[in-house]
Amino acid sequence: MEKEPISEDNQVKSMAIANIKFKKGFWYDRIELIRKTVIPGQWKALNDQIPEAEASHAIENFRIAAGEIKADFYGRVFQDSDVAKWLEAVSYSLAAQADPELEKLADQVIDLIVRAQQADGYLNTYFTIAEPDQRWKNVRDLHELYCAGHLIEAAVAYYQATGKQKLLDAVCKLADHIDTVFGKEAGKKPGYPGHQEIELALVKLYHLTKNKRYLALSQYFIDQRGSQPHFFTSEAEERQEESKKHYNDLFDYSYSQSHLPVREQTVAVGHAVRAMYMYCAMTDLAVETGEQDLIKACQRLWNNVTKRQMYITGGIGAQDHGEAFTFDYDLPNDTAYTETCAAIGLVFWAQRMLLLEAKAEYADLMEKALYNGVLSGISLDGQSYFYVNPLEVWPASCEQRYDLSHVESTRQEWFGCACCPPNIARLIASLGQYVYSFSRQAVFVHLYTACQASFELGGQTVKLTQQTNYPWEEEVIITVSTEKTVEFTLALRLPGWCKNPDLELNGEKVTLDQLTEQGYAQLTREWEKGDQVVLRLPMPVERIRANPEVRKNSGKVALQRGPLVYCLEEVDNGSNIFALVLPRNNQLQAGYDPNLLGGIVQLEGEAVKIDRSLWNGELYQANADQYQVTPLKAIPYYAWNNREAGEMLVWITEN
């Protein structure tokens, strides 16, 4: 395998959260919501203080494991990871904005976690409480390595936010312990996790500690995965189990993407979140090593996911069974699984692909998933969540059909399997890492949002200020601030959804064609304090069609404006929005309403619907296609189900 590590000089990095300040606007509001409402609310959930929500017991489990109270473990085997992800969200929030009380609480939680750690470094409340003699005997199904990965991510984030080393020391000890258990050396298990996660966490731990053993262990897990003889089979045999499948024979090895060595995988299969976390780690390692086979595998899988198996919202995972990918172009709108965590995973992966190569396509999808399939997972008030994010909902059907029993038609305060809520909290709290990436010579602007950030470029500290009311308004003003003139490239993403972007530099129009590379307008020059670029991204209302191979969207359009996918809701359009037909030539008007759903641009126009007076209770008729004009109103998909329960529809019949 050819290996060309990217030189330190050209290495594109994501930025530290501390170096960016969001300003009043779309993401600022949401980051504030996470800090003020979501993090405190989730703390209550983790402590079982939300009366009508599903129980968590996650904090209690740590107390039991620490020997401080006597009780049984409760929850999923991966319950610890909820605490870890919450702590990671807290860390990003603290990195962005000091909050001594929150930090104190986090310190207490960390103290508790560390007290639950065993002398040999082992740290997992389920096994410590419930099955101490079963450690590392079923990594296929029981999420031990997964939980360790989340603790590592939390520790790295907390150290970066606060400089405090207690949890970092604990997870290094844990990682060191894991390194004694797994690996190719004699006496170690030639294994890897059933649910990927630790691989990407170990790369983070390596970046922070520079300890190459962590990178090597991550690489081992990725390289070993899917090799023969199959570890999960040998492991099951050691347990004297016949099953070569996950979870009582329900799922074969493709469920955990261990059906083939990773470099031989060509299409996304199995559990979508596992896939995303694995692809993240593959990309991390590809960035580290420059290994061409791994890079090609990442690109191939990216293309399969985003050009064949992704909903227009950035949601992925087309079926409930296995929370999984199905096959190319199979994208039903109602039975979709589209787990919030999977869209989050796609954002994680897109960010890493951007570090591998700065192509706007990755940032486009990152933006798409963020604004749509991720954000739909949390209510506007930050107090309830969707686990599953389908593109059409008929509540009666979700309540009564068994094959839709995975779809909740209203957001829930918490879940028995509560992976999504803290995942969305940690992603939004860390959004400062996603806006830009940079090398020593260039800044890539991936997301447009009001903020101020500072970079080290050409040996100088350069500040960039974005002023914008994106995604509601089309204009982004970026102002450069630098002590001395400095040469660097300012690379502005020209979103794929935008047909006619327009750029001015210090008041003069810039011809984009020549400057644009891989979807970024690359302005390379000697920048001076006060230099200003104005990017205009016209946002007409677009009717998006799906590739004709997507059979379920035949004859239908989705409405999009800028990066936002729109939907119809029953509360705006009356019952049975499925019967609305949007005539081909009807224009829709976009208008900002500050009082609707926290302030949104809504789309309004006219549709038609069948004249029901022709029906008289018949079920089928030959002569019943007279239409009546009816008003239509669409809102951003992410904002649905924030007023009352009802039908929702993304793909609208067109005529």
Contact residues for its own copies, defined by CB under 8 A = 306-308, 310, 312, 318-322, 326-327, 330, 335, 394, 396-397, 400-403, 497, 499, 542-552, 554-556, 558, 560, 576, 578-581, 584, 609-610, 612, 615, 617-622, 624-625, 653-655
Of residues 238 and 611, the one with the C-beta less far from its own copies: 611
Shortest separation between residue 74's beta carbon and its own copies, angstroms: 23
Listing from the earlier edge strand, what are the strands of the sheet with 442-445? 13-14, 436-438, 442-445, 486-493, 520-527, 516-517
Shortest separation between residue 604's beta carbon and its own copies, angstroms: 19
Distance between CA atoms of residues 88 and 106, nearest Å: 10
Distances, alpha carbon 534 to alpha carbons 84, 387, 476, in Å: 41, 38, 6
Judge whether 266 and 304 are in contact, CB under 8 Å. Answer: yes
Of residues 229 and 617, the one with the C-beta less far from its own copies: 617
Of residues 132 and 631, the one with the C-beta less far from its own copies: 631
Of residues 105 and 267, the one with the C-beta less far from its own copies: 267
* Residue 50 CB burial class (10 angstroms; 0-12, 13-18, ≥19): middle
Shortest separation between residue 275's beta carbon and its own copies, angstroms: 16
Closest CA to 374 of 311, 285, 447: 311
Judge whether 577 and 568 are in contact, CB under 8 Å. Answer: yes
Shortest separation between residue 619's beta carbon and its own copies, angstroms: 5
Q: Which residues are catalytic?
A: 323, 419
Closest CA to 462 of 486, 478, 446, 439: 486
Of residues 71 and 614, the one with the C-beta less far from its own copies: 614
Shortest separation between residue 618's beta carbon and its own copies, angstroms: 6
For 100, residues 6+ apart whose C-beta sits below 8 A from its C-beta are none
Judge whether 431 and 27 are in contact, CB under 8 Å. Answer: yes
Of residues 399 and 528, the one with the C-beta less far from its own copies: 399
DSSP assigned state of 613: G
Helix axes 100-115, 166-181, angle to 10 degrees: 30
Shortest separation between residue 280's beta carbon and its own copies, angstroms: 21
Alpha-helical (H) ranges within 142-291 are 144-162, 166-181, 198-209, 212-224, 231-238, 272-289
Shortest separation between residue 475's beta carbon and its own copies, angstroms: 21
Of residues 451 and 541, the one with the C-beta less far from its own copies: 541
CA atoms within 13 A on the CB side of 535: 28
Cis geometry, peptide bond prior to residue 332 (ω within 30 degrees of 0): no
Strand, coil or helix: 324: strand
